[in-house]
Structure 1
Amino acid sequence: MLGVLALSMLVSACSQPGAAPSPSGAAEGGEAAAPGTGGSAIGFIFVGTKDDHGYNQAAYIGSEAVEQAFPDMKVLRSENVPETAEAERVMEQMIKNGAKIIFPTSYGHLEPSLNVAKRHPDVAFFHQGGLKTADNLGTYFGTIWEPNYLAGVTAAQMSKTGKLGFIVSVPIPQVLLNVNAFQLGAQSVNPDATTSVVFTGSWCDPGQQANAANSLIDAGADVLGQHQDCTKTVIETAERRGVMSVGYHTDASALAPEGWLTGSVWNWSDLFVDMTRTAIDGSFKGSIYDGKYRGMLKDDVVQLTDFGASVPEDVRTYVLEQKQAIIDGTLHPFAGPVKDQEGNVKIEEGAEPDAEELEATDYLVEGVIGSIPK
């Protein structure tokens, strides 16, 4: 209800001709307050709903941790905020309601956030998954491709056909990176394994997801993975059709008691609390959060879920050994050579690209079936 109320108030305010937000935060004498200090509220905007069994639910759980850690601060939340100028209006209203810290949690919220951040230098913005920063806007994400690699290892060992399916949204670097990690993990234990990818063109379209899942299963895929915001449809379709699934964003194993293998998920709670505390303390500038922060498997920001009941002990043991090797730094999922679908070397032999290099991914690796939409 808060998001709805905020939007309705904002529509009324913005209907006045010539109304425009002015820069805020200048203290007496013209000195701007440190980003994130002096507010009475913390704002979170979500592109979907808090119960999507996926991306938004993971972020919402993180917002609840912030609410518990800072009981004297009001937590403002707005769900189903589109990746348009509407996001600017929602954030402006949150700032009017006392927010000096805002978490825009969707990739497409970045440009609206940059616009609002420019107008409000005293507000600290923590944007999820972005590739640009500003003086008062940092981005954070995690190397979710690490557990996705492990999910691919698990999937290939459990698959009887060697045909895996992956349902994704749009071809941004992080999406392509997850497909590639899954395939490379599968290939590490079964060189003949393939991953067929379907782009739905949407972060959450259950109808498109069901069509994609059924088409992949009809083509022989016996394990489905995904990079979708809402994960329920793919997992339930796989379960209903008698094939296996790996989850994403949050642990949705309860949806698939027979076919669930494992999942790649976010653990935002401790991170969100630490980012909030950093801003409140006036330490945003110069912190690890005022640029591009990427948490890793070793930081517990990204996690591999528990295994499903059908995964045998030898597979569990092997996957966990691979997980420990990633944590120890003795295994890099994208260690070269890595080739694209046309056989071109994209990562040279012996090279171990860092997160920034990988987040520029614009190709699919060998063994992935399907084309990147233009």
Structure 2
Amino acid sequence: MFSCKLFGAVAGVAVAALSATGALAQAKDKIKVGFIYVGPVGDHGWSYQHDQGRQAIEKAFPGKVTTTFVESVPEADSERAIEQLARTGHDLIFTTSFGFMEPTLKVAKKYPNIKFEHATGFKRAPNLATYAAKFHEGRYIIGQIAGKMTKSNTIGYVGAFPIPEVIAGINAFYLGAQSVNPDVKIKIVFANTWYDPAKEGDAAKALLDQGVDMLAQHTDSPAPIQAAEARGKFGFGQASDMERFAPKAQLTAIVDNWNDYYVERTKAVLDGTWKSQDVWGGIDSHMVVMSPYKNMPDDVKKLAQETEAAIKAGTLNPFKCPVIGQDGKEIECKGNGALSDEQVLGMNFYVKGIEDKIPQ
């Protein structure tokens, strides 16, 4: 169901080590699965959606799987929480934020018989797999919607931190808007948090004060889209469908669907077939889902649906070459007619037309 890719020397070491140990391939009758969340399960965004996946595991394996979770874990203090799960009989542990990468790797090395999975990271080990979703595919779609519907030609983006995943999302959003509206401009504010409704709301208001009438976000609470609705503007849900928080403002939402992946990987532990791997699923594998298109003209809805279908079919890539950097120079195209996966996953530049600078 999911596409797997193993990058670089780290992956090679992982594969070699896997073949040298049988400890990772033992079937079990019952297992315990744990989750570490960066925000509260009630954030109605990122952590909420991961917790939907945890609940899907319980429904899929009644009597065979027990799940637990630790919420609102600061990235800088996550090692203790991960180790706590490792010490309390968990067979499989999912850590679900980029900043959990190094702590997860450290704990995984101490507990070689426990399986670990880290969301949005790139470091693996014989007992540590990684997984993420191609959120940028959805952001290209919402960029087109924003580009078609903006009246001010000024669209906005609330980012969490200037890491490659967020930068790639900003670029895809802007490229989508630019593809239908060459005059569009984008303004960006970083909230420097994944989940803090007050800070997220303040960032959104700052953008709206600058004339933004289309607001996207890569933070976890509904605060930005609620700010858009309060001003009579439009926005997009993030990670979960946020329509209930802003029914007049939400045009669509990029929904992270972890359910199938979590069920599949739990089954692999039960079956004794689990292996370290890297998965990057998108619209085609249903890991990225667009919520219903609403509050928009029929022609814009039709465009969004056609773009979604083209991405799913593999005929449209948001980072199709040539991609021009902010400095006006063409980015070397290392993929098959588009930027390579590695280039997208490590993106550290803005595309041409974005006037903001990436914070250092």
TM-score normalised by length of structure 1:
0.86
**Secondary structure in structure 1 of the residue aligned to 2:68:** strand
Tell me if structure 1 keeps the 8 A contact 2:319–2:338. Answer: yes
Alpha-carbon deviation of 1:110?
1.0
**Secondary structure in structure 2 of the residue aligned to 1:126:** strand
Amino acid at match of 2:103: P
Alpha-carbon deviation of 1:97?
2.4
Q: Does 1:54 align with 2:39?
A: no
Tell me if structure 2 keeps the 8 A contact 1:155–1:261. Answer: no
Alpha-carbon deviation of 1:356?
2.4
For residues 205 and 256 of structure 2, the distance between their equivalents in structure 1, rounded to whole angstroms, comes to 27
Q: Does 1:112 align with 2:103?
A: yes
Tell me if structure 1 keeps the 8 A contact 2:34–2:69. Answer: yes
Q: Does 1:301 align with 2:287?
A: yes
Q: State the Cα deviation string for residues 261-313 of structure 1 (Å, max 9, x = none).
A: 1111211111110011112211122xxxx2221011111010111112x2111
Residue among 296, 299, 302 paired with 1:311: 296
For residues 314 and 36 of structure 1, the distance between their equivalents in structure 2, rounded to whole angstroms, comes to 54
Match in the other structure for 2:202: 211
Q: Does 1:159 align with 2:150?
A: yes
Alignment of 1:267-346 (within 5 A): 267-285=257-275, 290-308=276-294, 310-346=295-331
For residues 339 and 268 of structure 1, the distance between their equivalents in structure 2, rounded to whole angstroms, comes to 33
Match in the other structure for 2:179: 188
For residues 194 and 109 of structure 1, the distance between their equivalents in structure 2, rounded to whole angstroms, comes to 34
Q: CA RMSD in A?
A: 1.7
For residues 172 and 130 of structure 2, the distance between their equivalents in structure 1, rounded to whole angstroms, comes to 22
Query: For the structure 1 residues 369 and 255, does the alpha-carbon distance in structure 2 shift closer, same or farther, using more than 3 Å as the test?
Result: farther
Alpha-carbon deviation of 1:183?
0.2
For residues 347 and 145 of structure 1, the distance between their equivalents in structure 2, rounded to whole angstroms, comes to 19
Amino acid at match of 1:313: D
For residues 149 and 133 of structure 2, the distance between their equivalents in structure 1, rounded to whole angstroms, comes to 26
For residues 162 and 350 of structure 2, the distance between their equivalents in structure 1, rounded to whole angstroms, comes to 10
Unaligned runs of 5+ in 2: 1-20
Deviates more, 1:335-344 or 1:123-132: 335-344
Alpha-carbon deviation of 1:95?
2.6
Alpha-carbon deviation of 1:315?
1.0
Amino acid at match of 1:294: W
Residue among 121, 135, 155 paired with 1:130: 121
Q: Percent identity?
A: 37
Alpha-carbon deviation of 1:334?
0.5
For residues 38 and 293 of structure 2, the distance between their equivalents in structure 1, rounded to whole angstroms, comes to 29
Amino acid at match of 1:75: T
For residues 206 and 147 of structure 1, the distance between their equivalents in structure 2, rounded to whole angstroms, comes to 23
**Secondary structure in structure 2 of the residue aligned to 1:364:** coil
For residues 232 and 332 of structure 2, the distance between their equivalents in structure 1, rounded to whole angstroms, comes to 37
Q: Does 1:360 align with 2:346?
A: yes
For residues 40 and 217 of structure 1, the distance between their equivalents in structure 2, rounded to whole angstroms, comes to 49
For residues 112 and 26 of structure 2, the distance between their equivalents in structure 1, rounded to whole angstroms, comes to 9
Tell me if structure 1 keeps the 8 A contact 2:333–2:339. Answer: no
Q: State the Cα deviation string for residues 38-69 of structure 1 (Å, max 9, x = none).
A: 56311011011011121111101111101111
Alpha-carbon deviation of 1:225?
0.2
Tell me if structure 2 keeps the 8 A contact 1:36–1:123. Answer: no
Between structure 1 and structure 2, the one with the greater Rg is 1
Alpha-carbon deviation of 1:207?
2.5
Tell me if structure 1 keeps the 8 A contact 2:31–2:270. Answer: no
Query: For the structure 1 residues 36 and 318, does the alpha-carbon distance in structure 2 shift closer, same or farther, using more than 3 Å as the test?
Result: farther
Q: Does 1:103 align with 2:94?
A: yes
**Secondary structure in structure 2 of the residue aligned to 1:102:** strand
Q: State the Cα deviation string for residues 106-146 of structure 1 (Å, max 9, x = none).
A: 11111111011001111111111001111110100011100
Match in the other structure for 1:141: 132
Q: Does 1:81 align with 2:81?
A: no
For residues 357 and 333 of structure 2, the distance between their equivalents in structure 1, rounded to whole angstroms, comes to 23
Match in the other structure for 1:69: 60
Query: For the structure 1 residues 35 and 236, does the alpha-carbon distance in structure 2 shift closer, same or farther, using more than 3 Å as the test?
Result: farther
Amino acid at match of 1:272: Y
For residues 225 and 328 of structure 2, the distance between their equivalents in structure 1, rounded to whole angstroms, comes to 32
Query: For the structure 1 residues 335 and 33, does the alpha-carbon distance in structure 2 shift closer, same or farther, using more than 3 Å as the test?
Result: same
Tell me if structure 2 keeps the 8 A contact 1:129–1:141. Answer: yes
